[in-house]
């Protein structure tokens, strides 16, 4: 039996999609009753709970053999580091006495120890907490999600997208679908398959390539504006990030 956290999200839903055809029981963990119907059915059972409830989460973990773990992002208007550390530690606490035989943890390329690096340090801590459980742990560090470009569609329709990246900046990128397949493969693979793997698409693209792709799809010329470093905080503030989240 498999357990998938964030089952209604970009990556979690793809993990279920990749696991479902094998027919094994899957517990799909979500935080919203409204999203339950989107994942429930067949060999997939939706379980609605708050990951801050470690006891309830442990009870679900005790029903399965292997679990896909991700740490849900906090609302940008909060102190994101503090909130995400709470959920990471709650998930880790729920692993105690769970008897799970393997974990697959979703993380990010830049995960590292330190302060002032946002979710990079939080996800590094999440990795270490999972490994400290003593359960064999496979860690998938993901490149930049293609789905992050979804928010640029409307500005692109108007002919201009604004990012923090220079036009010639080349960035490893990945599709959530491929992340789901990679996680499912490690989740169903040997218990001995542990440690960190980096997951990205078959090709790296520059932001000039991103602009060209928008132009081709929309059938119009699209330009790129790079936000100057001294205006990055202002741009995040306009997006609704709290002072703590911007620091």
> How many whole angstroms separate alpha carbon 131 and alpha carbon 125?
10
Residue 245 has pLDDT above 60, yes or no: no
Of the candidates 69, 103, 68, the residue with the CA atom closest to the CA atom of residue 87: 69
Pairing of strands 170-171, 205-206: antiparallel
Rounded alpha-carbon distances, angstroms, from residue 61 to 3, 23, 29, 117, 118? 7, 19, 10, 30, 28
Rounded alpha-carbon distances, angstroms, from residue 138 to 10, 121, 122? 20, 18, 17
Residue 38's pLDDT band (cuts 50, 70, 90): confident
Residue 239's pLDDT band (cuts 50, 70, 90): low
> How many whole angstroms separate alpha carbon 51 and alpha carbon 86?
9
Strand, coil or helix: what is 11?
Answer: coil
- pLDDT, tens digit, 9 for 90 and up, residues 190-211: 999 999 999 999 999 999 999 9
In the numeric block, the tokens 């306009």 are attached to: 238
Of the candidates 149, 156, 150, the residue with the CA atom closest to the CA atom of residue 215: 156
Question: Looking at residues 101-116, what average pLDDT do you find?
Answer: 92
Residues 6+ apart with CB under 8 A from 243: none
* pTM value > 0.95: no
């Amino acid at each position: 039996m498999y357990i998938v956290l964030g089952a209604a999200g970009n990556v979690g839903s793809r993990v279920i999609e990749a696991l479902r055809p094998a027919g094994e029981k899957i517990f799909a963990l979500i935080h919203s009753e409204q999203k339950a119907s989107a994942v429930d059915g067949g060999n997939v059972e939706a379980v609605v709970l708050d990951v801050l409830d470690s006891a309830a989460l442990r009870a679900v973990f005790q029903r399965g053999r292997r679990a896909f773990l991700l740490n849900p992002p906090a609302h940008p208007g909060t102190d994101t580091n503090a909130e995400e550390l709470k959920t990471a530690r709650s998930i880790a606490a729920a692993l105690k006495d769970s008897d799970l035989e393997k974990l697959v943890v979703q993380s990010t390329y830049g995960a590292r120890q330190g302060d002032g690096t946002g979710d990079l340090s939080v996800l590094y801590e999440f990795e270490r907490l999972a490994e400290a459980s003593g359960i064999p742990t496979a860690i998938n560090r993901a490149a930049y999600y293609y789905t992050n470009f979804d928010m640029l569609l409307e500005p692109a329709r108007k002919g201009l997208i604004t990012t923090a990246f220079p036009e010639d900046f080349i960035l490893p990128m990945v599709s959530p679908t491929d992340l789901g397949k990679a996680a499912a493969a490690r989740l169903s693979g040997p218990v001995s398959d542990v440690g960190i793997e980096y997951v990205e698409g078959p090709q790296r693209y520059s932001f000039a390539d991103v602009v060209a792709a928008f132009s081709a799809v929309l059938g119009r010329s699209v330009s790129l504006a790079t936000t100057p470093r001294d205006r990055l905080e202002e741009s995040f503030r306009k997006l609704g990030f709290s002072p703590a989240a911007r620091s």
